[in-house]
Chains A and B, each alone.
Chain A
């Protein structure tokens, strides 16, 4: 389980998060959504322990990670995989080296075992045979899938996704969302940060709407769509519009 308890974060004099509390259950896909600059990616970086909150705490499976040193954090990070917004694939490394990066660095497995695991995750993301390619030879959707494969190579209990479908065409976007569901079905807990409400609604078990560093609404898709808050209505305007259209069509 992932918990953020009264977390506040200030960067360069700007309040990024203000008293944010959030809980994502084991095996769920928790979606954090909100407009650009709302503080969504900061939540992911704090879950990962890359950033420490000014106050409050981040608890992963019952362990408060905020007071941990880098070495202790590494044990917690081994439970997590992350897909960065811009994929963050290492340009100078091949797909094979990118996906196996963590395992090669740890130097705890034989090369053959690592190669087999890479083959396995590439088959899982439906992209076998691209091991020797470099990131700049891949399309946006392919890079995203490789980034997901890299996050999955050591079978993490938690997978974090930062804007997974942003900038992709609808077909590639759907493939990524399907992949996220497929990863969840393998038993991982997922945290997805996005500003695309249709994605949030289609994959999220639990939705958290953030604006200006504070949580505006939190709950299931049903709870969110039935919220009376003005900001929620404004944010989900397009979805409400679609629902209205559907209702009208049904009446006709």
Chain B
């Protein structure tokens, strides 16, 4: 009962933090430089990670499905499988999980460290709302940057798949691309491009929440950083399921 109450209290705090972030959007102009810096840290500097994450995911997907399809004499369909798999599911999810680890850990440890060293108190003492100054720019930056990063993962995944399909399965590249374009519909893009926005919002707000609630020195900081990453990853998988269900049911 006690832990249930505690969970409800945490949810309440998280909801209040989220509302405060929305309120902070009115200070968009004031914190523009902070938003730009976060866009670079969260987005631009994660490009390499996402590039290789997407590339290898596409390669593995092609190898695994290609050989299975080959058994039924349908290896030419590999382009279709890779395109749908990357655009609808693996692109957003792999980007989400990689960024949950990277951005989630960054946000929780940075803000948590500031909490422990009283920098958050100092901000409040000097009249700054720390949620507006720290969480709002991170959330805006994440929502803006996750979409192009997911596109990078999608494209590199399909390109990796194409190369492997040509070299390992001997599927002609033009045929591969024809399969890719024939198989993709508008709803696949809606599914693939809506998810990163949701993932970005939740990764950023959850990790900021864990940062702000850090207590108990370095042990607490470590614990909250782990929690930020674990909860973000769990939420990504849950949201992916919910989004997939909604898209299949209603579109």
The residues of A with any CB-CB pair to B shorter than 8 Å are: 45, 48, 50, 70, 74, 77-78, 80, 82, 84-86, 88-91, 101-102, 105-107
Contact = CB atoms under 8 A, between A and B. Distances in A.
A172 B115 CA distance: 27
Contacts of A102: 126-127
Contacts of A70: 129
Interface string B24-54: 0000001000000000000000000000000
A83 B209 CA distance: 26
B125 A77 contact: yes
B212 to A, nearest CB: 14
B118 interface: yes
Contact of A77 (B30, B117, B118, B127): B127
B117 A86 contact: yes
A78 B125 CA distance: 9
Contacts of A107: 30
B25 to A, nearest CB: 18
Interface residues of B, number: 13
Given A102-B126, A105-B127, A45 B121 contact: yes
B128 A84 contact: no
B119 interface: yes
Nearest to B128: A105
28 contacts: A45-B121, A50-B121, A50-B125, A70-B129, A74-B127, A77-B125, A77-B126, A77-B127, A78-B127, A80-B125, A82-B122, A84-B121, A85-B118, A86-B117, A88-B117, A88-B118, A88-B121, A88-B122, A89-B119, A90-B114, A90-B119, A91-B119, A101-B126, A102-B126, A105-B126, A105-B127, A105-B128, A107-B30
A151 B125 CA distance: 10
A107 B121 CA distance: 20
Contacts of B114: 90
Residue with the highest number of chain A CB atoms closer than 10 Å, among B114, B117, B126: B126
A88 B119 CA distance: 5
A84 B125 CA distance: 10
A168 B167 CA distance: 67
Contacts of A77: 125-127
B223 interface: no
A91 B122 CA distance: 12
Given A77-B127, A86-B117, 4 more contacts: A78-B127, A80-B125, A101-B126, A105-B126
B181 to A, nearest CB: 46
A48 B128 CA distance: 14
B124 interface: yes
A111 to B, nearest CB: 14
Interface in B119-144: 119, 121-122, 124-129
B127 A84 contact: no
B122 A84 contact: yes
Contacts of B129: 70
Nearest to A85: B118
Contacts of A84: 118, 121-122
A36 to B, nearest CB: 14
Interface in B209-236: none
A74 B121 CA distance: 13
Contacts of B128: 105
Contact of A86 (B118, B124, B127): B118
Contacts of B30: 107
Contacts of A101: 126
B125 A48 contact: yes
A103 to B, nearest CB: 9
A123 B28 CA distance: 36
Contacts of A45: 121
Contacts of B121: 45, 50, 84, 88
A78 B118 CA distance: 19
Interface string B235-246: 000000000000
A88 B181 CA distance: 55
B125 A82 contact: yes
Contacts of B122: 82, 84, 88, 90
A80 B127 CA distance: 11
Contacts of B119: 88-91
